[in-house]
Amino acid sequence: MPNPSLRVLVAENQYLIAMEVEQILLDALDCTVTIVPLARLEQQLGDGQFDVVLFDSAPIPAVNLDRARRVRESGAAVVILSSYDDVGTEASGIQAFPVVAKPIFADDLIRAVKTATRASA
């Protein structure tokens, strides 16, 4: 079910991946998508209001948990994009958030975004 007011932030250093995520979401959902490099995640959270934030995972579990906490504090749902096999099991706190493996498959991404937005509603 499309959400016409869905505001999405994609924080990803690999711009082509971010553009792929954007295109998948625009094709499947009625949403707006903002793309920023991961280094600008916090600034963008302060500058705008988002319903869901997708960010690239770090190899350090504590970094992912901190990013997820900051996103949740901003009022947005969290989806983690990951190239790492064990990001979903690395720490108990991360298991609370949908993780989409790279390379990204459209169905997995859409399901994760819908799951995240339902869980935060």
How confident is the model over 25-52, as pLDDT tens digits? 999 998 999 999 999 999 999 998 999 9
For the chain, the first-to-last Cα distance in angstroms comes to: 14
- If residue 11 lies in a helix (H) or strand (E), which one and from where to where? strand 6-11
Percent of the chain at pLDDT > 70 equals 90
DSSP letter, residue 28: H
User: How many CB atoms sit inside 10 A of residue 63's CB?
Assistant: 11
pTM score, whole prediction? 0.91
**CATH class for the domain made up of 6-120:** alpha beta
| Gap between the Cα atoms of 83 and 73, Å rounded | 25
pLDDT of residue 3: 46
Decide the pairing of beta strands 77-82 and 99-101.
parallel
How confident is the model over 86-101, as pLDDT tens digits? 655 555 577 789 999 9
pLDDT of residue 91: 56
For the chain, which residues make up each domain, given as ranges? 6-120
